[in-house]
Amino acid sequence: MKNRTMAVSRSSTRKDTGPTQRGQCSKRISILDAAANVFCREGFSGASIDEIAIEACVSRQTIYNHYREKETLFVAVIEDVMERANAMLFSTLSTFPDKPDHLQRDLTDFAIRLTTNCICNQDGKFLRRLVQSEGERYPHLFEGWRQQGPCKISTTLGALFAKLSHKGALRIDDCDLAARQFLALVNADLQMIYLFGGKPTEEELQTAASNAVETFLRAYAPHQQQNAAQPAPVLVAVS
């Protein structure tokens, strides 16, 4: 019976769930957090309500009071995490650089923000795991997220690349494709770490981002800029 060492870091994006009281609300939150952790660790069928109750420091009955049954809780957790993840994703996308100078540095910083805030965090891990293991069982559940999140990301990011392209900072034919490739390159060095549930160090994130941007720019920068060479010192602002 370990004492709940670390809960999901819950950002400020949580919406107040209407007229319910503070006490009740805080219980709901700790249930959702604990459930997210346990479902992530054990999968849907491996997770037991008792375990969640213990981790949430709440009685089992309270869980049944709030969420009629296990599946209801599961769906609530998924939706909670997805909403938060999408919010974080678009908030991070809004920091995409729009000035063509220092492009290499700015793109690298952006890539680091993206991995740090959206992919390497607890929510990212949760989604990778749960979508993969339960996605086929609950297709409708993840569909909304898929359309609002991952599918939108390439078009949104694509549009941002398009802007840079119009300014002459990049030379891109298919901007959506370039966006997908940018994301793929950023994760190239990190895939294996994700797969085993690990968390990259800041240094690994740094290297991954630099490598990705360098190659991306070699493929998509206008000709003379091709060899910007020196890695340029990177200043990261991680919220």
Partner DNA sequence: GTAAAATTAGACACTATTGTCTAACTCGTC
Partner DNA sequence: GACGAGTTAGACAATAGTGTCTAATTTTAC
* Contact set with DNA (CB under 7 A): 20-24, 27, 47-50, 57-62, 64-66, 68-71
**Region from 13-21, 86-94, 136-144, 229-237 binding a copy of itself, contact rule CB under 8 A:** 136-144
**193 contact, one of a copy of itself, DNA, none, CB 5-8 Å limit per kind:** none
Residue 61 or 201 with smaller CB distance to DNA: 61
Distance, CA of 71 to chain centre: 24
**Residue 121 touches a copy of itself, criterion: CB under 8 A:** no
Looking at residues 8 to 67 of the shown chain, list those that interact with a copy of itself (rule: CB under 8 A): 41-46
**Residue 167 touches a copy of itself, criterion: CB under 8 A:** no
For the chain, give the longest Cα–Cα distance.
67
Answer whether 186's CB lies under 8 Å from 212's CB: yes
At its nearest, how many Å lie between DNA and the CB of residue 79? 18
At its nearest, how many Å lie between DNA and the CB of residue 48? 4
Alpha-carbon span 80 to 17, nearest angstrom: 11
